[in-house]
Chains A and B, each alone.
Chain A
Amino acid sequence: MGMTVLASPDIHEQEDLDTAIDSDRPWQTVVWNDPVNLMSYVVRVLQQYFGYPRDVATTLMLAVHHEGHAVVCEGPREQMELHAQAMHDYGLWATIRKAPQ
């Protein structure tokens, strides 16, 4: 066993770990509250487009309404962009972000 065994590899390991965690964090499609879209319409869109059951769609809609926004989907960036574009097509305001740490 050489002395290199005792050399501290901590910094590199930590960097590798950070990179791994960062690339594991999914992307999110976030729908934001606006004063225009009707609650019934938002529920309908979430049911129709994502195929969510009515109670899931309603919970998400209420989160948008009361908390100002809700994550409606998580996954790879390209897919979240397609979902955001689909939400824009329905007139909902959606954004894309990396899941917060």
Chain B
Amino acid sequence: MPLTRIEAVNLAELLRQFRELIQATDTGDPAMQRLVPDAYPDDPDAARQFRELTASELLEHRDADAQAVLASLGAPLTAPATDAEALEETALALSPEQVDAWLRALTALRLVLASRLHVESEDDHDPADPRFGVYEWLGYRLETLIELTD
């Protein structure tokens, strides 16, 4: 998959922040609740038990996916010094396992951003908020990657 240098740098920074978020394990954070969703909405006891059994493993997997993507990006990356450098494209050759890690990581980033942006429908968009640009770019990259591997 071709990726420009500026995209790689931005994605690496998002994943760095994402890792901080999941390592903080703030269970009251709505974004964290979306990453470890309620499996028994009508049974609080069963829901709590299920969460206790699955939460740490799910978050470990999210961290491992983030690390796998960072590794395939060649992180740590230095910010491009010029526009030409920013738009320099690298062709990423990803193994099937790496593709799966990418898809899950991009999805998890979108879930967190959607939670922060209070996205409630597919048409939610605020052109004044640059985070929507990031959210939509992640969706575009996710779609591209799925098309490439279908």
Contacts and interface: CB of A to CB of B under 8 A. Distances in A.
Interface of A: 35-38, 40-41, 44, 48, 81, 84-85, 88-91, 93-97
A37 B107 contact: yes
B13 interface: no
Given A40-B146, A41-B146, A81-B50, A95 B40 contact: yes
B61 A95 contact: no
Interface of B: 34-42, 46, 50, 54, 57-58, 61, 100, 103-104, 107-108, 110-111, 114, 119-122, 124, 139, 142-143, 146-147, 150
Contact of B58 (A81, A85, A93): A85
Name the prevailing secondary structure of the A interface residues.
mixed
B114 A88 contact: no
Contact of A95 (B39, B119, B122): B39
Nearest to A90: B104
A22 to B, nearest CB: 16
